Amino acid sequence: MTRSTVPVLLRSGLVLGMLAALPGGAGAQPKDAAPATRDANAAVLQQLPFADREDFADARRGFVAALPDGVRLNGARAEGKHIVLNWTFTDLGETHVLNLENSALTHRLGPPSAQADASLTLTC
């Protein structure tokens, strides 16, 4: 992903869409991906420029993405929702915790949350 695509993905609601699609609760057991999902993921892997390490170098320096319009939540729709996601980037050796609570979306870099509703591991 390039710097220019990250804000578009964020503004398009990618993160919030993923939050809404998760099954309820921390007790949900993970399932293996369906063959169609594995095939689609493999196709994306071939299309994206994973050899370009510039984004990883930027992230190590603290730059994640330019957000000219910021990230907006629909407070009314987020009301009463609480979800915690662990994002582990194995290439960087980092874990980021995304928390939606009290109609606010917050982030921290650090150890994974034991109360996470889902944990995602990303490797390039």
Q: Report d(CA 76, CA 103) in Å as an integer.
A: 8
- Global pTM reads 0.46
pLDDT, averaged per 10 consecutive residues of the chain (124 residues), comes to: 47 53 58 89 82 74 60 80 92 89 85 93 84
The pLDDT, as a whole number, for residue 3 is 47
- Give how far the C-alpha of residue 117 lies from the chain's centroid of Cα atoms, to the nearest Å: 13
Name the amino acid, one letter, at 62.
G
The pLDDT, as a whole number, for residue 101 is 87
Domains annotated for the chain, with CATH where assigned, are: 5-20+36-122 (3.30.1050)
**How far is CA 33 from each of CA 13, 25, 44, 62, 90, rounded to the nearest angstrom?**
23, 19, 15, 32, 20
